[in-house]
Structure 1
């Protein structure tokens, strides 16, 4: 046992994971495992506003502390964050992100036991703010985040997500799905925060045509930003009526819509991990990131080339590594999925 290990039956625990939507989703199993192990615990999550919808309302989490982006860059922001965190009187802080701001949030909370990563996953100044470190064995974000629970006596926990979706969102999504007169629906997500994560519009369209011709799918193309909508419209135009433009959605209505679908195809971005969390069969396309680190957990990831280099380089690179993935590679995975479904049904 660690010298910091708490004997408390109902500890007050802070999870610190602030960054991208997908990263927040990938960390949700930490909250589920803490709730399983400490049913009477008070569990909080500190997050930046953009990703807050993915944790707000989660049944394992008692409170969500939202901080504005850049909160740590001014004395006023630091003092406000400290006040917001201190009022919850946390005993334990778990730094699942491993960088300066996530570890600093734990320090500002006043928690005496602050657990974070050691080694290459302890980035920037995080090792100076955490009081106890864990050297992760696993590579995937979800698995190595769960390793941070070992000082609390939690080993080999079940992995589940319990993504918080409202009944109204599910009702809307079910009604929309029922308006699509096709036996199967695939959701195609062409967007991504990095250009190097984008697959080509004509390849999405060709995949939609294959899904329709071979298996009777209607594809639905989702989008977020104005640029993503333009790409989605191009896919619809090239699809020969086998794909439809999705309506505007919030993060939670998007997740509910994905839950109603039979297949989800996307590059490495937040909605990909939503699909995993709601249990939809998922195919992830990878070029500038590694599936071993952030792949669709327990689902299929395709990578034929990797854009190596620093994070800044990979973020600013073109999509040559993604272009190595051909339509034939994706269609082969789709065929395997359907063959497996037939075998299971037999």
Structure 2
């Protein structure tokens, strides 16, 4: 039987995406498509422990396996754990050799992984042939290439993919007492760092933006990890309308804070994509360089705006060292927030 003609209703499908928050969010729409086409299929998402709180908010996912926990088990127990799920298929969206071997040893019948990983020759029996690096498609669209074996004939447009962000919700979360007063107020979240995953706008521009927002009667919240906070905490304005939440929020609290914000400003990193999924105004600061340009990584959602300084930057086009993202002006970002 050809995979394209198989009815996957009632079947159990695993999606494996084991990298960061933004990557996981841009993978979730394929689960919504699968549920739309096969309403009675079951979907289990394999992800890192720290991204599990993101996945749990997406209604198309039925169950989650935290791979950090799974991989601490003895090898036989890892295989037994996967066998116990009675999976019919697995889609390796993010190739991981160790997991690919486990799914094969667990005898999952349909194992899908890109042909561009040598280890998939021995571990996957369906190997779609496409390339991400030079593709004009958005990352979320590229993920759909891997589910063609389920009967997908055409990659959806970015607008069609964006409709699947409505499946992302958030229950009310209790915030630390110092941030309770923000809910109901007009506030903007500034997320200056990216843990090295993206080109970053200078911290001094975030600080200047914060000062100008405060003048415009906005509250301003700086977010990030504890380690990131140490890099800029001393520069945060001491005004009563400025808040430092770095290292103080868990993922669920961060989601709730973003959901209620007037906007969020960040480079290409997880919180920007969370804002996009929540339809909070998401202003992303990007380089035009391939493959980190906004055409590949801009946030989904109805209120998302990617900003670049020069779409035809000669250095970026020539793949030379360039910091043109630093030239995006504070005024440009402020105007987008105030629209």
TM-score interval (norm. to shorter): 0.7 to 0.9
Query: How many residues are aligned here?
Result: 318
Secondary structure of residue in 2 paired with 1:261? coil
Name whichever structure is richer in helix by fraction. 1
Q: Which moved further from structure 2: 33-42 or 124-133?
A: 124-133
**What residue number does 1:134 align with?**
128
Secondary structure of residue in 2 paired with 1:134? coil
Structure 2 vs 1, CA of residues 164 and 284 (structure 1 numbering), >3 Å: closer, same or farther?
same
**What residue number does 2:225 align with?**
224
1:205 aligns with 2:207: yes
Q: What's the RMSD between the two structures over aligned residues?
A: 3.5
Structure 2 vs 1, CA of residues 255 and 89 (structure 1 numbering), >3 Å: closer, same or farther?
same
Q: How far 1:251 moved relative to its partner?
A: 0.4
Which string of whole-angstrom CA distances, capped at 9 and with x for unpartnered residues, describes residues 282-307 of structure 1? Answer: 11122483222222125222234677
* Aligned counterparts of 2:323 and 2:261: Cα–Cα separation in 1: 29
* Aligned counterparts of 2:105 and 2:279: Cα–Cα separation in 1: 36
TM-score (norm 2): 0.79
Q: How far 1:230 moved relative to its partner?
A: 4.5
Q: Which runs of 5+ in 2 are unaligned?
A: none
**What residue number does 2:297 align with?**
294
Work out whether residues 189 and 221 of structure 2, in 8 Å CA contact, stay in contact via their aligned partners in 1: yes
Secondary structure of residue in 1 paired with 2:66? strand
Work out whether residues 30 and 144 of structure 2, in 8 Å CA contact, stay in contact via their aligned partners in 1: yes
**What residue number does 1:272 align with?**
272
Structure 2 vs 1, CA of residues 2 and 12 (structure 1 numbering), >3 Å: closer, same or farther?
same
Which string of whole-angstrom CA distances, capped at 9 and with x for unpartnered residues, describes residues 75-128 of structure 1? Answer: x7543332221111111111212453454454344222222334xxx3453354
Secondary structure of residue in 2 paired with 1:202? helix
Structure 2 vs 1, CA of residues 302 and 91 (structure 1 numbering), >3 Å: closer, same or farther?
same
**What residue number does 1:250 align with?**
250
TM-score (norm 1): 0.78
**What residue number does 1:80 align with?**
77
Structure 2 vs 1, CA of residues 4 and 128 (structure 1 numbering), >3 Å: closer, same or farther?
farther
Q: Which runs of 5+ in 1 are unaligned?
A: 339-346
Structure 2 vs 1, CA of residues 331 and 108 (structure 1 numbering), >3 Å: closer, same or farther?
farther
